[in-house]
Amino acid sequence: VMMPVMDGIAATKAIRSSDHPLAKTIPIVAMTANAFEDDVRKMREAGMNEHLSKPIRITEVLKTIRRVLKTSGGG
Protein backbone atom coordinates (compact mmCIF):
# COMPACT_ATOMS: atom_id res chain seq x y z
CA VAL A 1 0.00 0.00 0.00
CA MET A 2 2.98 2.31 0.58
CA MET A 3 4.61 3.32 -2.70
CA PRO A 4 7.03 6.14 -3.60
CA VAL A 5 4.75 8.55 -5.48
CA MET A 6 1.22 7.64 -4.43
CA ASP A 7 0.04 5.14 -1.84
CA GLY A 8 -2.13 2.19 -2.83
CA ILE A 9 -5.31 3.71 -1.46
CA ALA A 10 -4.83 6.90 -3.49
CA ALA A 11 -3.86 4.85 -6.55
CA THR A 12 -6.98 2.69 -6.18
CA LYS A 13 -9.21 5.76 -5.86
CA ALA A 14 -7.58 7.26 -8.96
CA ILE A 15 -8.10 4.05 -10.94
CA ARG A 16 -11.70 3.64 -9.82
CA SER A 17 -12.56 7.26 -10.68
CA SER A 18 -10.98 7.01 -14.14
CA ASP A 19 -13.10 7.14 -17.29
CA HIS A 20 -11.35 4.04 -18.64
CA PRO A 21 -13.91 1.29 -19.45
CA LEU A 22 -12.20 -1.21 -17.11
CA ALA A 23 -11.66 1.21 -14.21
CA LYS A 24 -14.64 0.00 -12.21
CA THR A 25 -14.09 -3.72 -12.75
CA ILE A 26 -10.34 -4.40 -12.95
CA PRO A 27 -9.33 -6.40 -9.87
CA ILE A 28 -7.14 -4.59 -7.35
CA VAL A 29 -5.50 -6.61 -4.57
CA ALA A 30 -3.57 -5.08 -1.68
CA MET A 31 -0.37 -6.86 -0.69
CA THR A 32 0.78 -5.17 2.49
CA ALA A 33 1.97 -5.54 6.06
CA ASN A 34 -0.97 -3.34 7.14
CA ALA A 35 -3.34 -5.93 8.53
CA PHE A 36 -5.32 -4.05 11.15
CA GLU A 37 -9.09 -4.07 10.68
CA ASP A 38 -9.14 -0.30 10.13
CA ASP A 39 -6.45 -0.56 7.42
CA VAL A 40 -8.35 -3.31 5.59
CA ARG A 41 -11.59 -1.30 5.84
CA LYS A 42 -9.92 1.76 4.28
CA MET A 43 -8.57 -0.37 1.44
CA ARG A 44 -12.01 -1.86 0.76
CA GLU A 45 -13.64 1.57 0.90
CA ALA A 46 -11.09 2.84 -1.64
CA GLY A 47 -12.22 0.11 -4.03
CA MET A 48 -9.75 -2.72 -3.53
CA ASN A 49 -11.26 -6.14 -4.11
CA GLU A 50 -9.05 -8.15 -1.78
CA HIS A 51 -6.35 -7.81 0.84
CA LEU A 52 -3.33 -10.04 1.42
CA SER A 53 -1.21 -9.54 4.53
CA LYS A 54 2.53 -10.12 4.58
CA PRO A 55 4.14 -12.52 4.87
CA ILE A 56 2.41 -13.65 1.67
CA ARG A 57 1.84 -17.36 1.07
CA ILE A 58 1.74 -18.39 -2.58
CA THR A 59 -1.32 -20.57 -1.96
CA GLU A 60 -3.22 -17.52 -0.70
CA VAL A 61 -2.05 -15.45 -3.68
CA LEU A 62 -3.29 -18.09 -6.12
CA LYS A 63 -6.64 -18.49 -4.33
CA THR A 64 -7.10 -14.73 -4.29
CA ILE A 65 -6.28 -14.38 -7.99
CA ARG A 66 -8.77 -17.12 -8.86
CA ARG A 67 -11.44 -15.51 -6.69
CA VAL A 68 -11.06 -11.98 -8.10
CA LEU A 69 -10.92 -13.23 -11.68
CA LYS A 70 -14.05 -15.30 -11.15
CA THR A 71 -15.85 -12.35 -9.54
CA SER A 72 -14.75 -9.90 -12.25
CA GLY A 73 -15.65 -12.25 -15.08
CA GLY A 74 -12.04 -12.76 -16.09
CA GLY A 75 -11.77 -16.44 -15.39
In a domain, 1, yes or no: no
Answer yes or no: is 24 within a domain: yes
Question: Residue 5: what pLDDT?
Answer: 86
> What CA–CA distance (Å, rounded) separates 12 from 1?
10
SS3 at position 17: coil
Q: In the predicted model, is pLDDT for residue 75 greater than 60?
A: no
Which pLDDT score, from 0 to 100, does residue 71 have?
80
**For residue range 52-61, what is the model confidence (pLDDT) as tens digits?**
999 999 999 9
In this structure, are residues 44 and 34 in contact, taking their beta carbons and an 8 Å threshold? no
pLDDT score, position 61:
96
In total, the chain counts a number of residues equal to: 75
In a domain, 21, yes or no: yes
pLDDT band at 74 (very low <50, low <70, confident <90, very high): low
Q: Which of 20, 21, 27 is nearest to 12 (CA)?
A: 27
Structural domain of 53: 8-72
The CATH number of the domain holding residue 39 is: 3.40.50.2300
3 state DSSP class of 30: strand
Q: pTM, whole model, 2 decimals?
A: 0.84
